């Protein structure tokens, strides 16, 4: 570094010497004019020589660089021409400016110059190309039956124009190997007959072996279509192993085996239904992981009432079938087992917090009262988490306050502050976390019980230690009534508690006309013996004038489609709008030519939809397409970030998809 500085010091810029000579010539002019003139002429010569020398040097450097550039351009051109894979060059405006012979051969077009890129390859968006350039990632493209990985590069030409170079690498063989690997990956399906015991009990003894043989034959025939291995490991359970490529065929045919089995008739008076569970994951590292997913999928299918296939792929769940009513289970063994399990958990808890869904109805609050009475019988403090009342429960809520139940209700804020790890949270009439009165309560303890009668949907409370989910039941109040009955014979219900439980059953069954089974009447009979008052039930369910008038307006505004579905949009911004929507949907079913009804209204920042049917149409499957859920004949949905007319169009689209799926089933 010091040597460099010294060299620079003793060899300064040549202009300095010229300046020194010029200054000396001026000084000499004072002493000797002749010498001064000679010196000046010598200075002029030096300046001229420097100028010419510098100019020649620049020209030499320019010539050398140009020759080097020509050599590089020639080498580049040879490389481009001799590339072993296709190359295409386009301007950003989409004009093709150059291509090699390999690219011409794969696209099978002779003259591409000046063609527009979108005309040649309409499925590639130039915006996507630019994104690829920014992300430095190749894109995949199928062309003439082959798959290519397209690498992108942006450069500038001599005219300062941006151009894009696309290198096409044929990966067809690799993709075929990859796809074959995926298609041949083994998957597992759990198959279960939902109502095998009930079918055998319903059939005469001589037909029972025949029914079992027919079911086996039809399931085996379906497995043979899928080239699958089938093993019957119980009287009503099967295990099927098949290649993944056959799953696409199952989905395409929408699991038609469900219809085949349902239509089987051989001495049985009730339809035979299947539940199928299939699970697979890209992240699965072993066959055992997919097996667990398949078992979980079967549990979901059974929890939704059976007669359906459920495919669980990572976090995505697909449903097929489920268009029939859930079959009532005649055995009460499960109810007794669940009741004793709930009893043990309550006894081991310090306190019990009962949580329902947001904007609770009579079924929710009635069920909560039943759980409260069980907890108090076991000498445990119990609270119902309720932030505020609503028109659906105002009458019951006010009656409870008047009869000394004020301390029963606590806010979610209070619950969050006081719940400990030893507290028990019992969720009633809901199983979806997003619909809870307060979802954060579930984070305070791992002791959680779920009691619900809705078909299982997404966003399930997975960490519950006890789940009593029975979609065949008419209401959650019916399930809680059985829990009270089997927990202990000495439990005494107060008159308002028994009446509230009966009112919940009364409401969800539409005066015992919908979803009513033998056990529904048995539960109602038990509550009547415990002191339930029918007149008080009707009083708890009475409407006020505003709700009644709004229902009439909704019926008047209803549009009945050619598919016998009624759709009504109501304009009501009161706090009773959710109650009006639900009850209006019920009333529309009383009209001739209406098999299903949908009523919607704007409620603050969302559109609420309530769906009802007579059983032939699954409003649950329709509203699940909009993120909702419920039962085959009773369902609801809430849509955000849309206005009410946009929501109506989304509903019509969902109905259309449902009808098309029904045709293909």
- Domain assignment present for 1: no
Judgement on whether residues 201 and 162 belong to the same structural domain of the protein = no
Report how far residue 662's alpha carbon sits from residue 438's, in angstroms, rounded to the nearest whole number. 37
- CA 306 from centroid of its chain's CA atoms: 21
Judgement on whether residues 49 and 89 belong to the same structural domain of the protein = no
Report how far residue 621's alpha carbon sits from residue 631's, in angstroms, rounded to the nearest whole number. 9
Taking the CA atoms of residue 255, residue 256, residue 258 and residue 263 in that order, the dihedral angle to the nearest 10 degrees is 180
Taking the CA atoms of residue 635, residue 641, residue 644 and residue 647 in that order, the dihedral angle to the nearest 10 degrees is -50
DSSP of 350-417 = SEEEEE-BSS--HHHHHHHHHHHHHHHHTT-EEEEE-S---TTTHHHHHHHHHTT-GGGEE-HHHHHH
Judgement on whether residues 582 and 621 belong to the same structural domain of the protein = yes
* Side-chain-facing half-sphere of 115: CA atoms under 13 Å: 16
DSSP of 551-617 = HHHHHHT-EE-TTSEEEEEE---STTHHHHHHHHHHHHTTSTT-SEEEEEEEETTEEEEEEEESSSS
Report how far residue 633's alpha carbon sits from residue 621's, in angstroms, rounded to the nearest whole number. 10
pLDDT for 72: 44
Burial class (CB in 10 A: 0-12, 13-18, 19+), 280: buried
**CB atoms closer than 10 angstroms to residue 55:** 10
Judgement on whether residues 371 and 457 belong to the same structural domain of the protein = yes
- CA 337 from centroid of its chain's CA atoms: 34
pLDDT for 160: 66
The reported pTM is 0.64
Least trusted range by pLDDT, from 35-39, 288-292, 469-473 = 35-39
Judgement on whether residues 377 and 498 belong to the same structural domain of the protein = yes
* Side-chain-facing half-sphere of 322: CA atoms under 13 Å: 33
Is residue 635 over pLDDT 80? yes
Listed residues 283, 299, 321: the one ending a domain:
321
Q: What is the pLDDT of residues 77-131, one digit of tens each?
A: 566 556 677 887 777 667 777 777 777 777 777 677 667 777 777 666 666 666 6
**SS3 per-residue string spanning 545-566:** HHHHHHHHHHHHCCEECCCCEE
Contact call for residues 346 and 373 (beta carbons, < 8 A):
no
Residue 357 marked as a ligand binder = yes
Between 238 and 280, the more confident residue is: 238
Between 370 and 564, the more confident residue is: 370
Q: What is the pLDDT of residues 586-608, one digit of tens each?
A: 888 888 888 899 999 888 788 99
Q: Write the CATH number for 410.
A: 3.90.1640.10
Is residue 663 over pLDDT 50? no
- Domain assignment present for 252: yes
Q: What is the pLDDT of residues 269-314, one digit of tens each?
A: 678 889 999 998 877 777 888 888 899 888 888 877 788 899 988 7
Residue 490 marked as a ligand binder = no
- Domain assignment present for 8: no
Q: What is the mean pLDDT of the chain?
A: 82
C-alpha triplet 325, 329, 333: angle, nearest 5°: 155
Q: Write the CATH number for 308.
A: 3.30.70.270
Judgement on whether residues 277 and 223 belong to the same structural domain of the protein = yes
Contact call for residues 388 and 381 (beta carbons, < 8 A):
no
The domain of 313 spans 184-321
Full strand arrangement of the beta sheet holding 596-603: 559-560, 565-570, 596-603, 606-613, 634-640, 629-630
Judgement on whether residues 389 and 518 belong to the same structural domain of the protein = yes
Listed residues 519, 540, 561: the one ending a domain:
540
Least trusted range by pLDDT, from 45-49, 196-200, 360-364, 562-566 = 45-49
pLDDT (mean) for 194-203: 79
Contact call for residues 632 and 595 (beta carbons, < 8 A):
no
Least trusted range by pLDDT, from 342-346, 521-525, 622-626 = 622-626
Judgement on whether residues 554 and 530 belong to the same structural domain of the protein = no
Residue 508 marked as a ligand binder = yes
Judgement on whether residues 102 and 137 belong to the same structural domain of the protein = yes
Listed residues 121, 154, 177: the one ending a domain:
177
Judgement on whether residues 569 and 655 belong to the same structural domain of the protein = yes
Largest Cα–Cα distance of the chain, in whole Å?
Answer: 147
**How sure is the predictor about 158, in pLDDT bands with cuts at 50, 70 and 90?**
low
Residue 363 marked as a ligand binder = yes
**Total of domains in the chain:** 5
Judgement on whether residues 246 and 307 belong to the same structural domain of the protein = yes
């Amino acid at each position: 570094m010091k040597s460099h500085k010294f060299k620079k010091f003793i060899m300064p810029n040549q202009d300095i010497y010229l300046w020194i000579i010029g200054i000396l010539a001026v000084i000499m002019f004072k002493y000797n004019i002749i010498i001064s003139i000679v010196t000046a002429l010598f200075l002029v010569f030096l300046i001229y020589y420097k100028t010419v020398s510098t100019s020649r040097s620049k020209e030499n450097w320019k010539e050398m660089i140009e020759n080097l550039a020509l050599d590089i351009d020639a080498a580049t051109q040879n490389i481009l021409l001799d590339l072993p894979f296709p190359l295409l060059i386009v301007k950003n405006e989409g004009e093709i400016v150059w291509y090699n012979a390999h690219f011409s051969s794969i696209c099978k077009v002779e003259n591409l110059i000046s063609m527009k890129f979108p005309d040649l390859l309409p499925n590639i968006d130039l915006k996507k190309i630019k994104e690829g350039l920014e992300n430095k990632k190749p894109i995949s493209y199928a062309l003439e039956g082959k798959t290519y990985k397209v690498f992108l590069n942006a450069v500038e030409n001599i005219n300062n124009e941006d151009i894009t170079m696309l290198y096409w690498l044929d990966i067809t063989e690799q993709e075929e190997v990859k796809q074959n690997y995926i298609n041949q990956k083994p998957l597992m399906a759990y198959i279960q007959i939902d109502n095998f015991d009930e079918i055998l009990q319903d059939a005469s003894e001589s037909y029972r072996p025949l029914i079992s043989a027919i079911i086996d034959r039809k399931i085996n025939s379906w497995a043979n279509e899928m080239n699958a291995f089938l093993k019957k490991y119980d009287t009503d359970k099967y295990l099927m192993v098949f290649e993944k490529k056959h799953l696409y065929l199952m989905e395409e045919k929408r699991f038609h085996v469900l219809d085949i089995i349902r239509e089987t008739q051989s001495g049985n008076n009730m339809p035979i239904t299947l539940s199928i569970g299939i699970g697979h994951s890209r992240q699965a590292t072993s066959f055992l992981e997919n097996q667990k997913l398949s078992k979980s999928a079967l549990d979901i299918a059974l929890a939704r009432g059976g007669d359906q296939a459920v495919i669980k792929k990572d976090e995505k769940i697909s449903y097929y079938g489920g268009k029939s009513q859930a079959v009532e289970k005649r055995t009460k063994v499960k109810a007794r087992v669940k009741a004793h399990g709930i009893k043990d958990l309550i006894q081991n808890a310090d306190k019990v917090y009962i949580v329902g869904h947001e904007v609770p109805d009579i079924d929710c609050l009635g069920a909560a009262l039943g759980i409260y009475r069980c907890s108090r019988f076991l000498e445990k403090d119990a609270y119902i988490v309720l932030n505020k009342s609503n028109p659906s429960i105002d009458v019951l809520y006010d009656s409870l306050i008047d009869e000394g139940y004020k301390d029963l209700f606590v806010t979610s804020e209070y619950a969050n502050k006081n719940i400990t790890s030893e507290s028990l949270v019992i969720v009633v009439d809901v199983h979806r976390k997003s619909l809870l009165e307060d979802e954060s309560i579930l984070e305070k303890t791992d002791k959680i019980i779920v009691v619900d009668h809705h078909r299982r949907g997404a966003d399930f409370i997975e960490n519950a230690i006890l789940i009593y989910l029975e979609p065949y039941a008419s209401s959650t109040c019916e399930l809680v009534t059985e829990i009270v009955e089997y927990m202990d014979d000495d439990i005494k219900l107060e008159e308002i508690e028994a009446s509230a439980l009966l009112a919940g059953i009364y409401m969800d069954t539409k005066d015992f006309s919908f979803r009513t089974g033998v056990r529904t009447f048995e539960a109602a009979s038990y509550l009547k013996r415990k002191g339930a008052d029918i007149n008080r039930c009707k009083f708890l369910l009475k409407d006020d004038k505003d709700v009644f008038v709004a229902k009439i307006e909704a019926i008047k505004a209803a549009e009945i489609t050619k598919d016998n579905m009624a759709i009504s949009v109501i304009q009501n911004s009161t706090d009773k709008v959710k109650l009006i929507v639900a009850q209006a949907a019920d009333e529309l079913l009383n009209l001739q030519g209406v098999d299903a009804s949908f009523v919607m209204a704007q409620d603050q920042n969302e559109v609420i939809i309530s769906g009802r049917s007579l059983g032939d149409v699954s409003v649950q499957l329709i509203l699940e397409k909009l993120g909702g859920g419920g039962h085959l004949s009773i369902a609801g949905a809430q849509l955000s970030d849309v206005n009410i007319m946009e929501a109506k169009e989304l509903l019509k689209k969902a109905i259309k998809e449902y009808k098309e799926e029904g045709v293909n089933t």
